[in-house]
Structure 1
Amino acid sequence: MIDFKRLLGIALTSSLLVLASPSVIKGAETITFSIMPLGQFDISVKSLTDFAETGTIDPDFKFYTQHLKPEELEKLRGLLNHSFKFNSVEAFRFFNTTFGKEIAQQLSYIIAAPTDQSQPFLEGAIVTAAQNPDGFKIIDVINAYGGSDLVLNLDTFKNTIDQADTLYQATDRIFTWLGKQEIPSNPVPPNLKPLALAEPGPQKWTTQNLTIPRPNGQPVNVFVYLPQGNSSPAPLVVIAPGLNSNFQAFTYIADHLASYGFTIAGIDFPESDAARMQDSLQGLDAFPDPNAWLEQPKDVTLVLDTLAQKAATDPAWQGKFDINNVGILGHSLGGYTAIASGGATLEWPELLQQCEQLNKPNQINLNPALLWQCQGVGSAPPASNLRESRIKAVLAINPVTNPIFGPDGMKNLAVPTLIVAGSKDIFAPPVPEQIIPFSLIEGVNKYLLLVQNGTHLSFLEDTDNLPEKIVGPGQDLAYTYMKSLGLAFFDLYLQQDSSFKPYLTDSVVQQMSQEPLPLQLVPSLTPAQLQQAMDINN
């Protein structure tokens, strides 16, 4: 026998959970949905609001919830109360970008109405709800949606519950669970000062800019720091910025590493730099050509080949660096580039399959990283293996990895890897883009640095013109963390200096950790452990 009451409860919960995405629905007096063959059902918005605000379950709402488990109700209420820190002006501007309209279209599938009708109403409801100075919640959007009755697509709700929870609630559960685990503590050497590595080093350097032609398309601009006075060739660190960003966002870490004798090669990728992407998002330019961003690891190889030639033919460059001992630091899309260069293999069929789901009304995707990956996907698959054998260590900050590396690609990473994840990253959400992929890495030394309250922009410079709520708190502290841990990581794995190993332990990271960006360093995590962490009962 089918338990129709439980089916009703789960159906309603499904619909409301999915409203817990960065934009939601409703502003009516009643939420209506249909279950075949049982017919049409509804619940008052007031009942839902009372439950979200106080936990009260009135008789109207109890009809649907009496057969739900306590953890299901807890998940529902948590998602309804999730706050999104955008004001109405920022929301309006966002929905006038190409990317914002894609998000709004995805959300509009929840409403049982033609998209050309539901999407503008939904955008208006979000802009109205965003007038709340403390950030808007699901309930705010529901109460701002015009009309007296809101009809929802139940199939769409049911198919997106898990994703909504993963993007917005599971992150907190995972961070909390990991914080409770016993991480092996290594003895901390006496007199070790965790933040001492953030102080500048004594080395001097010179800088040179290179413009490297490519077989097809615009040239690559490279900013090279050459150490002065080294007794032997220095390790080289490539810096790969992310989407809508330039190398200048990481000059603080480039300067710091150079002051300790590293050679630096900072790359500006022409298809995804700040100027090109700003124009693309505003509809003034096309998004990068299909597969262009996927090919960025080839630009890393091109840069290394060019530097090798310079070192072999130009006396001013000879003996400055070891071209076969290279680390790479990448952020966001540059994090993808770093991880692919380190050996993770691309799974093109997986990406195409995920992108195909975007046009199905019963499937909503709310992960901005996936929406962006699908913007420029063409029909011609790239090479699956873009590993650069000269890369010996990978440091990836807020990397985009899913679904391009699929369930198996991360297993092919061939070098020590440090992944940085921020709990408040809304552009490359930490669970699908960093934490799950980290759990899949096998056979190499790996580290996951969890940054509580960290955003997608925490580790970037040149964010002065962006809203503080998007950038997040404690940027100066974030720079200090990256200087210390970046130097320790590359000294350990490029210089083979074991004295830096203690810095890459949770014991030392805890000494380094400060508000408003508390840290935790996770040296291992398996898929089974991750599943336990995501369980709402833990």
Structure 2
Amino acid sequence: MFFNYQTASNWLGKIQLLLLGIGASAIATLPAKAAETIYFQYGSLVQSLQVSSLETFAETGVVPPDLQFYFNFLKADKQEQERFRQLLNSSMKVNLVPISQFLYTGMGEGLLKQFGSYIRTDPNINGKYALRAAIILAASDPKGLSLLNLFRKYPTNMWIDVQASLNLSKAAGIVVEATQYFTKTVTQLSEEEAKKEVGTNFSALPDLRKSGNLGIVKKRWQLQDRKRQRSFYVDLYQPQSWRTGKTPIIVLSHGLGSRPEDLAERAEYLTSHGYFVAIPQHPGSDMIQLQNMQQGLSRNVLLTQEFIDTPLDISYVLDELERRNQSEFSGRLNVQSVGVMGHSFGGYTVLAVAGATIDFANLQKDCNNNLNYLDLSLLVQCRVLDLPPQAYNLRDPRVKAVYALNPVNNSVFGAKGLSQITIPTMLEAGTYDPATPAVFEQVRSFKMLTTPNKYLALIEGQAHVDFSVLGSGLMQLVESVTKLTLPPPKLLDSYSNALTLAFFEVYLQNDETYRPYLQAAYTEYLSRDRQFKVFLISAKSDKGLGEASREFRAKL
């Protein structure tokens, strides 16, 4: 196997910290004097370090006595000292206005509060407001945002809680170790399932990675849900040549800050195989909402009501398809047997519409634990606590199968909420995902699902988003931090497309000829001679995954 788990785990840890850093650079401008001293507090012990010493070291390489004390204490050799110097001087250019707006959102302030519990303005005062001032001032520096500039711009002397920071560091190390451990576990379980399966000559079967030949007709509807006073559009993908019999429907749900157009390729693939695909816009959590936040027109990346509205958007689209089925589609659509598929926040949406219920008590517990925020998706999930703590029934009985890619889900639903899903469920996770880390989200959630027809696909190198479409500046930053080459997006899409089609053919169309594709042996076949592989496990691996979880906890 070409894939290096330790490298991947380290990459995940680094990219999590990178994204936390990007988030923490969303700050508001405040004039302030610079910090002169950094105090490290460990219980009743206090040790200081002058900011000027860091400046001297960063600019000249000379190590002042107070900095030498820390190097000696940490047993840092010359190479490690030089790496620290590079870190102090490394900078990145940021777009000040949208980043500033972000840190005034609920998620942004939550992020600052977490960091402020470790970096304080006084031994007992959270440093979130000082951080907001420091980072915006550092980001506005012509040289860019750097660690050294952050120290320079901090408006008061800085107090670092060493014990809390050590706890965070330990927790981060456990996350990296757990990512490596459970990636290996899923790999082994998938291999064990494959050995027990009846041998199939996949090379003699149709290649599901390829598009179909039924053609595509695209249209857009503008919808108005008067009951909710909500206007949104839905992109519809209709096969040019209809299947024999009723045509299955799949509704796709986009992620936070995204839009229906971003799922066009997935929709076209499914439509080419005979599915009718609908992709609704979610107005309070889409790209327009993100742009409104960046321009100062909104204080939120997503509106809290979106946790309720996005599942209802899917139900409203199905109502509209049912109403127009006869007049516009000659009754061809099978509106009573629908598949749903969502990415990231859209993963939350489709799990909710599939029957998962919000567990406020579980979410409150997780949101109160600072160390849990190593799972960045918790910043999104904790927004649910702004809703009235009541039962929300978002299940749509027309939905018969659900496929969730990198879903935001574990804390908001918990075991109690996920156990309410009774329909076939596929979770897809990526080993490089810093936003919804598999070890926090999909791996844990898979074990919590009680539906007998459940699957977990783990794709090596999948990183939540396609970094190749990002701006060059951020892409360069990602590459400099990770020092890894990401897998080709088309390879990852081919894995996901094949599993998606097989899953919906079996559980929407009841076509058992596609059952062999939902085997670990098939993903083994797809991954042959590939540097980045895909692994599949089913409910058969529940016991093995549970044993691995207990063994890992016993090691801690």
**TM-score tier after normalising by the smaller chain length:** 0.7 to 0.9
1:226 and 2:226 aligned? no
Q: Distance in 2 between matches of 1:260 and 1:321?
A: 15
Match of 1:189 among 192, 197, 200: 200
Shift of 1:442: 1.2
Shift of 1:304: 0.9
Q: CA 1:264–1:401 in 2, change beyond 3 Å: closer, same or farther?
A: same
C-alpha offsets along residues 449-505 of structure 1, whole Å, 9 cap, x if unaligned? 1112211114x9965778436695421112212221111111111111122122222
Q: CA 1:364–1:397 in 2, change beyond 3 Å: closer, same or farther?
A: closer
What amino acid maps onto 1:384 in structure 2?
Y
Q: How does 1:38-187 map to 2 (within 5 A)?
A: 39-40=45-46, 44-47=69-72, 50=75, 88-90=92-94, 95-96=99-100, 97-98=102-103, 99=107, 102-113=110-121, 114=125, 115=127, 116-118=129-131, 120-121=133-134, 145=151, 151-154=159-162, 156-157=164-165, 160=168, 163-165=171-173, 167-181=175-189, 182-185=191-194, 186-187=197-198
What amino acid maps onto 2:400 in structure 1?
K
Q: CA 1:261–1:464 in 2, change beyond 3 Å: closer, same or farther?
A: farther
Aligned to 2:439: 431
Shift of 1:339: 0.9
Q: CA 1:93–1:106 in 2, change beyond 3 Å: closer, same or farther?
A: farther
Q: Secondary structure at the match of 1:450?
A: strand
Instruction: After superposing the two structures, state which structure 1 stretch, 89-98 or 364-373, moved more.
Output: 89-98
Shift of 1:237: 0.6
Q: How does 1:268-417 map to 2 (within 5 A)?
A: 268-281=281-294, 283-287=296-300, 288-312=302-326, 314=327, 316-355=328-367, 357=368, 365-375=373-383, 377-381=385-389, 383-417=391-425
Q: Secondary structure at the match of 1:198?
A: coil
Q: Distance in 1 between matches of 2:473 and 2:442?
A: 24
Contact 1:244–1:277 (Cα < 8 Å) also in 2:
yes
Q: Secondary structure at the match of 2:348?
A: helix
Contact 1:346–1:384 (Cα < 8 Å) also in 2:
yes
1:518 and 2:533 aligned? yes
Contact 2:40–2:162 (Cα < 8 Å) also in 1:
no
Contact 1:393–1:417 (Cα < 8 Å) also in 2:
yes
Q: Secondary structure at the match of 1:339?
A: helix
Q: How does 1:6-25 map to 2 (within 5 A)?
A: 21-22=17-18
Aligned to 2:4: none
Aligned to 1:478: 492
Q: CA 1:87–1:188 in 2, change beyond 3 Å: closer, same or farther?
A: farther
Q: Secondary structure at the match of 2:396?
A: coil
Shift of 1:189: 2.0
Q: TM-score, normalised by structure 1?
A: 0.76
Q: Distance in 2 between matches of 1:106 and 1:348?
A: 21
C-alpha offsets along residues 386-411 of structure 1, whole Å, 9 cap, x if unaligned? 21111111111110003210232111
Shift of 1:522: 2.1
Aligned to 1:69: none
Aligned to 1:238: 251
Shift of 1:205: 4.0
Aligned to 2:457: 449
Q: Distance in 1 between matches of 2:391 and 2:221?
A: 27
What amino acid maps onto 2:329 in structure 1?
W
Match of 1:257 among 265, 270, 274: 270
Size of the alignment, in residue pairs? Answer: 476
Q: Percent identity?
A: 23
C-alpha offsets along residues 411-432 of structure 1, whole Å, 9 cap, x if unaligned? 1211111111112212222222
Contact 1:341–1:391 (Cα < 8 Å) also in 2:
yes
Q: CA 1:92–1:430 in 2, change beyond 3 Å: closer, same or farther?
A: farther
C-alpha offsets along residues 191-237 of structure 1, whole Å, 9 cap, x if unaligned? 53688212121213433322221122331311222333332111111
Aligned to 1:499: 513
Match of 2:261 among 248, 253, 257: 248
Q: CA 1:221–1:144 in 2, change beyond 3 Å: closer, same or farther?
A: closer
Q: Secondary structure at the match of 1:531?
A: helix
Aligned to 1:421: 429
Q: TM-score, normalised by structure 2?
A: 0.73
C-alpha offsets along residues 298-354 of structure 1, whole Å, 9 cap, x if unaligned? 121111111111114x1x312322111111110011101111111111113333454
Q: Distance in 1 between matches of 2:77 and 2:456?
A: 34
Contact 2:94–2:139 (Cα < 8 Å) also in 1:
no
Q: Distance in 2 between matches of 1:351 and 1:221?
A: 32
Q: Distance in 2 between matches of 1:122 and 1:168?
A: 27
What amino acid maps onto 1:321 in structure 2?
L
Q: Secondary structure at the match of 2:207?
A: helix
Instruction: After superposing the two structures, state which structure 1 stretch, 333-342 or 291-300, moved more.
Output: 291-300
Q: Secondary structure at the match of 2:400?
A: strand
Match of 2:546 among 525, 528, 532: 528
Q: Secondary structure at the match of 1:308?
A: helix
Instruction: After superposing the two structures, state which structure 1 stretch, 250-259 or 466-475, moved more.
Output: 466-475
Q: Distance in 1 between matches of 2:91 and 2:550?
A: 36
Contact 2:502–2:517 (Cα < 8 Å) also in 1:
yes
Q: Distance in 2 between matches of 1:127 and 1:243?
A: 27
Shift of 1:155: 5.8
The runs of 5 or more residues in structure 2 that have no matched partner are: 1-12, 25-34, 49-66, 480-485
What amino acid maps onto 2:549 in structure 1?
Q
- Calculate the aligned-residue CA RMSD, in Å: 4.1
Q: CA 1:252–1:363 in 2, change beyond 3 Å: closer, same or farther?
A: closer
Q: Distance in 1 between matches of 2:446 and 2:422?
A: 13
Q: CA 1:192–1:495 in 2, change beyond 3 Å: closer, same or farther?
A: farther
